[in-house]
Structures are given as C-alpha cells and as structure tokens.
Amino acid sequence: MIKLSNGLSFNVIYNSGSLGFVGKGWFYQKPFIWLNVLPIKNIPKITKTITLNKRKEKPYVRIYKDHIVNRIGLTNKGFDHWLNKQYYKIKKGDLVIVCIAEKDIDSICYMVESLNSCTRIWGVEVNISCPSFEYEKNIEDIILELENTETKHPIFLKIGNRNNFDRLVKNLKQSSKIEVVNINSYAVYDFKTKKWYGYSGSLVQKPLWNIARGVAIKTGKQVIIPSVWTFEDVLRVKSYFSYCNFAYGLASIVLKNIFAVKGLIRFINSLYNNLNQKELCHV
C-alpha cells in the first residue's frame, strides 16, 4: 500500500489519465459510472497529462492479445484552461492527482507552484517520460529542482525506459519531495514512421516491472506497478514487490477494455473480492 504524507493511502489507482482530466471518466465510461457498475469511489485517479500550452496530436492505439501499442500523445487545452475551466469540477473526495508535463524544468516548476492554490487535489505528478514528447536534455534534474520549489502537495514522478536510469536513481536518493514513482509504458522507436510508441501489457511486463523494482530497491521510493492485466498478475506483483510499498496501476487494463468495459469491471471486481476491501484506499 502506498502512503502519502497528506494521509491518503491506496492499493490501486486509475493512472495515466484513464478517467480523463478531472477523474470523472471519459464520455463512453460515464454511463457505467452513473450506474455504479464501474467503481471510481474511494479509488485515486491521476489525470491525463496537462501541458503549459495547448497541444493537439492525432491519437494512435492498437490493441492486441498480449499488448497495446499507443501514441495517444499529450492533447490538452493547456494549463490555464484546466485551472479556470476544469478544476472547479473536482471535489476533495474525488481523490484526484494532477499530472503535468513540459519540455523544460522551469515550466514544470511554475506549474507545480501554481497548483498550490488547488486545495481539492491530493497530489501532483510530474511526467518526464511521455514517448511522443521531446524533453530537454537531463530532464531528470527536475527531481533536484523540485527540492527548491514550494509545493503543498505530495509529488509523483512518472518515468520510463528512455530516461537516464543512473541519473534518476542518483537524484531520487537526494529527494525528500518525490513520494511516489509511476512507470510509463515501454517506449519503442519505429524506424518506418520515425516516431516513438508506448507498449504496455503482458508482452512488456518484465522490463517495466524491472524498472519499478530497480527504483524501489535502489531508492526506497514507493512505486505504481504498470501493465497489470489479470488477477494472476496481481498475485505475482504482490509476491515480486513484497519488500516495498506499491500500488496497482489500472491504466493499461482500462485501455485494453476501452470498448469492452465489462472486462474492466470483472477485473476490478476481482480486486474487491480477493483483496480486503479496506485495503484498496484509506483517507
């Protein structure tokens, strides 16, 4: 179970924007949420990534039996729009963590400080690993810069296989503000299209889980485990990460069942039925 400094504890989380920009669900999910078939109450949600300026990208998603390939990108209407037009929709009980990203460290720090006024959120995630986004060199140094940035919220860091792992570990060891590390999809470069794509699912569980394991062992940070697709995966993760605080990330299973919500509902119900319901989240 992940335990934040503000008192929120959780075993599962809707990460990577799987429930939209305010944690209320995408339009196709809302009927299931309204009917209370898709449970979101008392489960934390990380928003889709918000950038300082408006961005528009053409999403690409392909779902296969054992993996997903995506280039969803960072389409959003910008940070100011989110603050002025979307934040008001969030209630404290929604358990929302806001995800932000930018190419440069100064812009990220500006957004982190600006979110101090948002008292109804439970944390801020800094995404330095989107496969379709080009960051400035040594973006991993944002970890050290955040030590000198005023923040009233727990900080999550979203990393991936394109990051400099040694630099990440070195900086995370010195960080008192990064409380949770989230693992992004596995980035693969396509020489035909000359673009980066994110892979998730059973096919890439081993390298993704190894990144999470390496971070947990070498830094002692709490980690969100990606690409958990079956309840058998839940049991494997529970054994594999028994030495550290962790939570199950639901983003990949949500995307896998984007047009088959019943599969997602069955998976989440298995968590409720096979884990102690009190373990899922505590405020």
Q: Say if residues 249 and 16 touch (Cβ distance below 8 Å).
A: yes
CB proximity list for 5: less than 8 A, separation 6 or greater: 154, 179
- For the chain, the structural domain boundaries read 2-282
pTM for the full model?
0.94
Residue 230, pLDDT score: 85
Structure tokens of 111? 């957004």
* CA pair distance 126, 19, nearest whole angstrom: 18
Over its C-alpha atoms, the chain yields an Rg (Å, rounded) of 17
Residue 274, pLDDT score: 67
Chunk the chain into consecutive blocks of 10 residues (it has 283) and report each block's average pLDDT, rounded to whole numbers.
Answer: 96 94 92 82 95 94 92 94 98 96 96 98 97 90 96 97 97 97 97 95 96 97 94 90 94 76 72 65 69
CATH class of 2-282: alpha beta
Residue 33, pLDDT score: 86
Looking at residue 94, its amino acid is D
Residue 98, pLDDT score: 98
Residue 265, pLDDT score: 72
CB proximity list for 247: less than 8 A, separation 6 or greater: 1, 2, 10, 11, 12, 13, 222, 223, 224, 225
DSSP 3-state helix, strand, coil percentages of the chain (rounded to 5)? Answer: 35, 20, 40
